[in-house]
Protein backbone atom coordinates (compact mmCIF):
# COMPACT_ATOMS: atom_id res chain seq x y z
CA UNK A 1 0.00 0.00 0.00
CA UNK A 2 1.46 3.34 -1.04
CA UNK A 3 0.39 6.93 -0.55
CA UNK A 4 0.45 9.45 2.25
CA UNK A 5 -1.80 8.82 5.26
CA UNK A 6 -3.77 11.68 6.79
CA UNK A 7 -6.14 11.28 9.73
CA UNK A 8 -8.75 14.00 10.09
CA UNK A 9 -9.81 14.41 13.73
CA UNK A 10 -11.84 16.82 15.82
CA UNK A 11 -9.90 19.99 16.58
CA UNK A 12 -10.60 19.65 20.33
CA UNK A 13 -9.08 16.15 20.47
CA UNK A 14 -11.82 14.72 22.70
CA UNK A 15 -13.69 12.43 20.28
CA UNK A 16 -13.38 8.80 21.43
CA UNK A 17 -13.86 7.65 17.84
CA UNK A 18 -11.13 9.87 16.40
CA UNK A 19 -8.92 8.85 19.31
CA UNK A 20 -9.53 5.15 18.60
CA UNK A 21 -8.44 5.60 14.99
CA UNK A 22 -5.38 7.58 16.11
CA UNK A 23 -4.40 4.93 18.66
CA UNK A 24 -4.81 2.22 16.03
CA UNK A 25 -2.45 3.98 13.62
CA UNK A 26 0.17 4.61 16.31
CA UNK A 27 -0.01 1.04 17.61
CA UNK A 28 0.34 -0.28 14.06
CA UNK A 29 3.47 1.82 13.61
CA UNK A 30 2.23 3.53 10.44
CA UNK A 31 3.50 7.07 9.75
CA UNK A 32 0.65 9.53 9.32
CA UNK A 33 -0.27 13.19 9.63
CA UNK A 34 -3.10 14.62 11.73
CA UNK A 35 -5.41 17.24 10.26
CA UNK A 36 -7.81 18.75 12.86
CA UNK A 37 -11.31 19.76 11.78
CA UNK A 38 -13.05 22.51 13.77
CA UNK A 39 -16.53 21.10 14.21
CA UNK A 40 -17.72 24.16 16.15
CA UNK A 41 -16.99 26.33 13.11
CA UNK A 42 -18.67 23.85 10.79
CA UNK A 43 -15.55 22.94 8.86
CA UNK A 44 -16.97 19.44 8.41
CA UNK A 45 -19.64 20.97 6.16
CA UNK A 46 -17.21 22.78 3.89
CA UNK A 47 -17.16 21.74 0.21
CA UNK A 48 -13.51 20.73 0.60
CA UNK A 49 -14.24 18.34 3.46
CA UNK A 50 -17.48 17.07 1.95
CA UNK A 51 -15.52 16.15 -1.17
CA UNK A 52 -13.46 13.82 1.01
CA UNK A 53 -16.23 12.53 3.27
CA UNK A 54 -19.88 12.58 2.27
CA UNK A 55 -20.79 11.78 5.89
CA UNK A 56 -19.22 15.05 7.05
CA UNK A 57 -17.94 13.41 10.22
CA UNK A 58 -14.64 12.71 11.89
CA UNK A 59 -12.54 10.68 11.94
CA UNK A 60 -11.66 10.36 8.28
CA UNK A 61 -8.64 8.53 6.90
CA UNK A 62 -7.10 9.58 3.59
CA UNK A 63 -4.61 7.13 2.09
CA UNK A 64 -3.41 8.44 -1.24
CA UNK A 65 -6.52 8.60 -3.40
CA UNK A 66 -8.57 6.45 -1.00
CA UNK A 67 -10.80 8.07 1.62
CA UNK A 68 -12.48 6.22 4.48
CA UNK A 69 -14.73 7.63 7.23
CA UNK A 70 -16.02 5.80 10.33
CA UNK A 71 -13.55 4.72 12.98
CA UNK A 72 -14.37 1.00 12.98
CA UNK A 73 -13.79 0.82 9.24
CA UNK A 74 -10.56 2.80 9.64
CA UNK A 75 -9.26 0.50 12.37
CA UNK A 76 -9.97 -2.66 10.38
CA UNK A 77 -8.46 -1.16 7.22
CA UNK A 78 -5.29 -0.15 9.04
CA UNK A 79 -4.98 -3.62 10.59
CA UNK A 80 -5.40 -5.41 7.28
CA UNK A 81 -3.59 -3.03 4.92
CA UNK A 82 -0.32 -2.56 6.82
CA UNK A 83 2.31 -4.71 8.45
CA UNK A 84 2.89 -4.30 12.16
CA UNK A 85 1.45 -5.44 15.48
CA UNK A 86 -2.07 -6.82 15.23
CA UNK A 87 -4.87 -4.58 16.46
CA UNK A 88 -7.17 -7.57 16.94
CA UNK A 89 -6.41 -10.97 18.51
CA UNK A 90 -5.07 -13.68 16.24
CA UNK A 91 -7.53 -16.30 17.51
CA UNK A 92 -10.78 -16.11 15.56
CA UNK A 93 -13.00 -16.37 18.64
CA UNK A 94 -11.01 -13.78 20.56
CA UNK A 95 -11.17 -11.53 17.49
CA UNK A 96 -14.93 -11.90 17.38
CA UNK A 97 -15.10 -11.10 21.11
CA UNK A 98 -13.01 -7.97 20.60
CA UNK A 99 -15.39 -6.74 17.90
CA UNK A 100 -18.34 -7.55 20.16
CA UNK A 101 -16.80 -5.38 22.90
CA UNK A 102 -16.29 -2.51 20.48
CA UNK A 103 -19.85 -2.76 19.22
CA UNK A 104 -21.31 -2.89 22.73
CA UNK A 105 -19.48 0.09 24.19
CA UNK A 106 -20.33 2.13 21.09
CA UNK A 107 -24.04 1.30 20.93
CA UNK A 108 -25.01 0.90 24.60
CA UNK A 109 -24.28 3.00 27.69
CA UNK A 110 -25.40 6.29 26.09
CA UNK A 111 -26.46 7.63 29.47
CA UNK A 112 -22.86 7.35 30.73
CA UNK A 113 -21.65 9.30 27.72
CA UNK A 114 -24.27 11.97 28.45
CA UNK A 115 -23.43 12.36 32.15
CA UNK A 116 -19.66 11.78 31.96
CA UNK A 117 -18.19 13.77 29.07
CA UNK A 118 -15.02 12.56 27.42
CA UNK A 119 -13.49 15.97 28.19
CA UNK A 120 -13.23 14.86 31.83
CA UNK A 121 -10.63 12.30 30.80
CA UNK A 122 -8.21 15.07 29.86
CA UNK A 123 -8.99 17.77 32.41
CA UNK A 124 -10.65 17.96 35.80
CA UNK A 125 -14.22 19.33 35.73
CA UNK A 126 -14.51 23.02 36.57
CA UNK A 127 -16.94 22.15 39.35
CA UNK A 128 -17.81 18.87 41.10
CA UNK A 129 -20.08 16.72 39.00
CA UNK A 130 -23.43 15.58 40.34
CA UNK A 131 -23.77 11.91 41.20
CA UNK A 132 -24.87 9.51 38.52
CA UNK A 133 -28.58 9.29 37.87
CA UNK A 134 -30.27 5.97 38.57
CA UNK A 135 -30.17 5.14 34.88
CA UNK A 136 -26.47 5.99 34.61
CA UNK A 137 -25.64 4.03 37.76
CA UNK A 138 -27.41 1.00 36.33
CA UNK A 139 -25.46 1.40 33.09
CA UNK A 140 -22.23 1.76 35.07
CA UNK A 141 -23.03 -1.42 36.97
CA UNK A 142 -23.56 -3.24 33.66
CA UNK A 143 -20.25 -1.91 32.35
CA UNK A 144 -18.40 -2.99 35.48
CA UNK A 145 -19.98 -6.45 35.52
CA UNK A 146 -19.25 -6.87 31.81
CA UNK A 147 -15.57 -5.98 32.29
CA UNK A 148 -15.14 -8.11 35.40
CA UNK A 149 -16.57 -11.06 33.50
CA UNK A 150 -14.19 -10.66 30.55
CA UNK A 151 -10.96 -9.41 32.15
CA UNK A 152 -8.95 -12.36 33.51
CA UNK A 153 -7.92 -11.96 37.15
CA UNK A 154 -4.45 -10.51 37.45
CA UNK A 155 -4.40 -9.52 33.77
CA UNK A 156 -3.75 -6.05 32.36
CA UNK A 157 -5.44 -6.82 29.04
CA UNK A 158 -8.43 -8.77 27.79
CA UNK A 159 -6.57 -11.28 25.60
CA UNK A 160 -3.08 -12.76 25.31
CA UNK A 161 -1.91 -9.62 23.55
CA UNK A 162 -3.18 -6.03 23.63
CA UNK A 163 -6.03 -5.21 21.27
CA UNK A 164 -7.89 -2.07 20.24
CA UNK A 165 -10.83 -3.42 22.27
CA UNK A 166 -8.75 -2.81 25.41
CA UNK A 167 -8.50 0.86 24.52
CA UNK A 168 -12.21 1.24 23.77
CA UNK A 169 -13.37 -0.57 26.90
CA UNK A 170 -10.89 1.34 29.08
CA UNK A 171 -12.00 4.65 27.55
CA UNK A 172 -15.60 3.98 28.58
CA UNK A 173 -14.56 2.89 32.07
CA UNK A 174 -12.37 5.96 32.40
CA UNK A 175 -15.43 8.17 32.04
CA UNK A 176 -16.21 6.92 35.55
CA UNK A 177 -12.68 6.55 36.94
CA UNK A 178 -11.51 10.02 35.92
CA UNK A 179 -14.18 11.76 38.00
CA UNK A 180 -14.04 9.46 41.02
CA UNK A 181 -17.16 7.36 40.46
CA UNK A 182 -17.12 3.99 42.22
CA UNK A 183 -15.18 1.41 40.20
CA UNK A 184 -13.49 -1.75 41.60
CA UNK A 185 -9.74 -1.27 42.19
CA UNK A 186 -8.64 -3.94 39.71
CA UNK A 187 -10.62 -2.21 36.96
CA UNK A 188 -9.13 1.14 37.95
CA UNK A 189 -5.70 -0.48 37.56
CA UNK A 190 -6.76 -1.81 34.15
CA UNK A 191 -7.83 1.66 33.05
CA UNK A 192 -4.60 3.28 34.24
CA UNK A 193 -2.52 0.59 32.53
CA UNK A 194 -4.29 1.23 29.23
CA UNK A 195 -4.12 5.01 29.64
CA UNK A 196 -0.36 4.85 30.16
CA UNK A 197 0.25 3.36 26.71
CA UNK A 198 2.43 5.55 24.51
CA UNK A 199 -0.24 5.72 21.80
CA UNK A 200 -2.82 7.09 24.25
CA UNK A 201 -0.37 9.57 25.73
CA UNK A 202 0.47 10.87 22.25
CA UNK A 203 -3.18 11.78 21.80
CA UNK A 204 -3.25 13.38 25.26
CA UNK A 205 -0.25 15.48 24.19
CA UNK A 206 -2.24 16.74 21.21
CA UNK A 207 -5.00 17.80 23.61
CA UNK A 208 -2.47 19.53 25.83
CA UNK A 209 -0.98 21.41 22.88
CA UNK A 210 -4.44 22.70 21.98
CA UNK A 211 -5.17 24.18 25.40
CA UNK A 212 -1.81 25.89 25.92
Check: CB of residue 148 under 8 Å from CB of residue 184: yes
- Collapsing DSSP to helix, strand or coil, 69 comes out as strand
Q: Read off the pTM.
A: 0.95
Residue 6 DSSP one-character state? E
58: closest CA among 29, 47, 67? Answer: 67
Q: What is the pLDDT of residue 211?
A: 59
The pLDDT tens digits for 155-174 are: 999 999 999 999 999 999 99
| Strand pairing category for 60-63 and 33-37 | unpaired
pLDDT of 128 > 90? The answer is no
Q: What is the pLDDT of residue 76?
A: 97
The pLDDT tens digits for 3-35 are: 899 999 999 999 999 999 999 999 999 999 999
Neighbours of 54 (CB within 10 A): 10
Residue 117 DSSP one-character state? -
Q: What is the pLDDT of residue 1?
A: 60
Alpha helices in the chain, H assignment, sequence order: 16-28, 47-52, 71-81, 92-107, 110-115, 134-150, 164-177, 185-195, 198-211
How far is Cα 59 from Cα 186, in angstroms, rounded to an integer?
32
Tell me the average pLDDT across 126-153. 95
Check: CB of residue 120 under 8 Å from CB of residue 181: no
In order of their start, the domains of the chain are 5-86 (3.40.30.10), 92-198 (1.20.1050.10)
How confident is residue 95, by pLDDT bands cut at 50, 70 and 90? very high
Tell me the average pLDDT across 61-85. 97
pLDDT of 79 > 90? The answer is yes
Q: Calculate the average pLDDT of the chain.
A: 94
Q: What is the pLDDT of residue 197?
A: 98
pLDDT of 175 > 90? The answer is yes
Tell me the average pLDDT across 83-93. 97
Amino acid sequence: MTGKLILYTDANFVSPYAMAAFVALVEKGVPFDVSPVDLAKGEQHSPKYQALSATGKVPLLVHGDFTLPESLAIIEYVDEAFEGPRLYPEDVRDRARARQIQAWVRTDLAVIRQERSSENLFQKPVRPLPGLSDAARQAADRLIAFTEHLLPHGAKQLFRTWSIADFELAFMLNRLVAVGDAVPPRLVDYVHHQWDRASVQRWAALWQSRVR
